Structure 1
Amino acid sequence: MQAGILLAFASYFAFACGDASLKAIGDRLPIFEIGFFVSIFALLPALFTKRPEDNWGNVFVPNRPGLVALRMASGTLGGILGVIAFTSLPLAEAYALIFLLPIFVTVFSFVVLKEPIGWRRWLAVIGGLIGVLLVVRPGFREILPGHFAAIGVAICGAITVIVLRVLGPSERRITLIGAVLVAAIVVNGVLMVPDFEIPANDLWPIMILAGLCAGMGHLLIVFATRLAPAARVAPTQYSQIVWATIIGASFFSEFPDLIAIIGMVLVAASGLFTFVRETERTRWPSRVPLIRNR
C-alpha cells in the first residue's frame, strides 16, 4: 500500500515536470507540432505498461468501438488544450482550472448518468467554482485563451471519466491507453503539416523530457494501482498543484498571491471532497482503471 502511494506521488511529480517542459517550449513551436513530438516520446515508457496476457493488436480491437472512439477524442482534444494552457498560463493557475475536473464529473453524472447528487456534493461544486473565481478574478485580470483551454481540459477529462465508468469493467487497459496515444500522434501529425517548422536544436531535449515525463507518469501510475487501490492512489494527483507552485517559482519566477493560493486550496479541497463522497456512495472508483486525464 505505502509503496503504491509513493509511486503515485512520483508519477504526478513526473507529470508536473512534463507540463513544466511544455511551458519552457512556450510559443517557439506550433501547438500541434509540440503535441505530436511529445506524444511520440511519451509512447516509449508507456510500452512497458503492457501486461503478459495482452498483445499490441488489442489496441485496435476494442470491445465497444463507439465509446473507445469517444475516449480517444476526449483524450486527444484534452492533450491539445493542455499544451495551449501550459504554454500560456502560470503552472499553478493552469492546474487550479484543470482540477475543476471532479466538479464537471459531478455535473455530468447528474445530467448524463442520472446519478443522485446530494447537497454536500453540490456545495463542493459551488466551492470549486468560487475557488476558480479567486484564482482567475475575471474583471480584475486579463482573461487569456489559456484559461478557456484549461477549463476545456477539465471538461474533456470529465467526459473521459464518464466514459471509463462504462468501459472500465469490459475494456482492456492496453486499449484504453494505447488507443489515445495513437490518436494523439495521428491527429497532431496531420494538423501540424500546414505550419510545420523544424525545431531548433535546443528544443529537442525539452520535448524529449516532456514526452518521457508524461510516459513515465503513466507507467508509474499503472504500477501504483497494482500495489494500492485506486481510491487510495487518486487523491495524490492534487500534489501536482504543490509541484507546480514550486517549479513555477524556481524556474519561471511565478509567485501566486495569497488570494490565488486560497482559491487553489478551495479547488483542491472541493475536488477531494467530491472524490471521497463518490467513493462512499458508488462503486465506480474501484472499477475504473486509473489513468491520467491531464
Structure 2
Amino acid sequence: MLYAVLANLVFAGCDTVVKLLSTRHPVFQIITMQACVASVVVLLIFMRGGYIAKRSGLVHDRHVRNPKLLALRGLLAGIGSTAGLYAFSLLPLADVYAITFASPLLVTMASVIILREEVGIRRWAAVIAGLVGILIMVRPGYAVVSMGHIAAFVSIFVSTAVVLIMRSIGATESRNMMVGAVLAGQLMAGIPGTFLWFSPPSAFDVGLVILGGLLNVSAQFLFLESLRLAPASSVAPMQYTKLVWALIVGALLFGDLPTVHMLLGAAIVIGSVLYMFHRERKRGVAPSVA
C-alpha cells in the first residue's frame, strides 16, 4: 500500500511536469521526449536484469507470450497517454483526475457486456451513482463541455480496454515487457505529431523532460511492485491520493481552485468506486482497476 501511495505521488509529479511543459510545447512532443528518456531507463534496467540473471545462473525472462495483446496494450497506452496529456494541458489536474477515477465503473460495465460477468444490483447501483457524480462534475447543459473534458473521457475509455487486456496477460507477461510496450506505444503516438509541430526546448525544459521521464517510469515500476506485494483490493483505492496532490499543486503552481460541483462529483465517484471495491472484496474478486 505504501508503494501504491508513493507511485501515485510520483504519477502526480509527472503530470505536473507535463502541465508545465504544455504551456510551451505541443502534447505530441512532450510524449515523445518523455518516452525517450523513460525508454533509456527501461533499457538499462532490462540489460542489468539480464546481467544479474546470467551471473546467478538464472534465466532472464525476455519472452513475449501474448504478442498481439501486448502490442494492442501498447497502442492503446499511446492513445490514452495522448488524450490524457491533452486533457491536462486544458483542465486543472484535479478535474482530470476526478473524471478518470470513473474508469473502474466503466470496467464493470464492459465486463458484463464483453466478459459476460455477473454484476449484482448493489454494484449496478454503485455504477449509476458514479455516473451521476460525473454529470455533477461536468454539468452538461449548464457549462460548456470543452475538448479537455472530451479528451479525459477518451482516456478513461481507452484505460478500460487496457484493464480488460491486462486481465488476460497480466499474470503471464514480465513487468519489463509490459512497461516497454507502454513506452513503445507512446513513441508511436508521439513521433508523427512531433515532426509536424516541433518547438525547440530550452535547457530548463530539457531538464523538466528528463525529470518527467524518470518520474514516469519510476511510477510504473512502483505501481507494478505494489500489485506484486499486496492484493489489488488493498492497492486500488490508493489511486485516490492523487486528488490530494493535485489540489495542492493546482492551487500553488497554477492558481486552480476547486469548485464545489467538482468536489461533490468527485466525492460521489470515489465513494461509489470504493463501495464497489468493498463488494468485490467480499465476493473474493480482484477490484476492476487491477
Q: What residue is the counterpart of 1:32 in the other structure?
A: 28
State the aligned residue count. Answer: 281
**Residue 234 of structure 1: which of 233, 236, 248 is its match?**
236
Q: Which deviations, in whole Å up to 9, do the C-alpha atoms of 1:151-201 show, x marking residues without a partner?
A: 111111111111111112332332222112122123312332122232233
Is the deviation greater in 95-104 or in 166-175? Answer: 166-175
**Residue 14 of structure 2: which of 8, 11, 18 is its match?**
18
Aligned pair 1:224/2:226, yes or no?
Answer: yes
Distance 1:214 1:135, change over 3 A: same
- Stretches of structure 1 that go unaligned for 5 or more consecutive residues are none
CA contact (8 A) 2:82 2:189 kept: no
Equivalent residues in 2 for 1:94-109, closer than 5 Å? 94-109=96-111
| Cα deviation, residue 95, structure 1 | 0.5
Give 1:21's aligned amino acid. V
Q: Cα RMSD over matched residues? A: 2.3
Aligned with 1:85: secondary structure? helix
| Cα deviation, residue 32, structure 1 | 0.9
Work out the CA distance in 2 between the residues paired with 1:10 and 1:200: 30
**Residue 83 of structure 1: which of 77, 80, 85 is its match?**
85
Give 1:165's aligned amino acid. R
Aligned pair 1:112/2:118, yes or no?
Answer: no
Q: Which deviations, in whole Å up to 9, do the C-alpha atoms of 1:93-113 show, x marking residues without a partner?
A: 000111111011011101100
For normalisation by structure 1, the TM-score amounts to 0.87
Q: Which deviations, in whole Å up to 9, do the C-alpha atoms of 1:86-129 show, x marking residues without a partner?
A: 11101110001111110110111011001011111111111111
Work out the CA distance in 1 between the residues paired with 2:104 and 2:265: 16
CA contact (8 A) 1:124 1:271 kept: yes
Distance 1:226 1:162, change over 3 A: closer
Work out the CA distance in 1 between the residues paired with 2:225 and 2:45: 8
Q: What residue is the counterpart of 2:37 in the other structure?
A: 41
When Rg is computed on C-alpha atoms for both structures, the one with the higher figure is 2
Equivalent residues in 2 for 1:52-91, closer than 5 Å? 52=53, 55=60, 58=62, 61-91=63-93
Q: Which deviations, in whole Å up to 9, do the C-alpha atoms of 1:53-109 show, x marking residues without a partner?
A: 6748x2xx5212221122112111111111101111011100011111101101110
Q: What residue is the counterpart of 1:130 in the other structure?
A: 132
Determine what percentage of the aligned residue pairs are the same residue. 35
Work out the CA distance in 1 between the residues paired with 2:285 and 2:139: 37
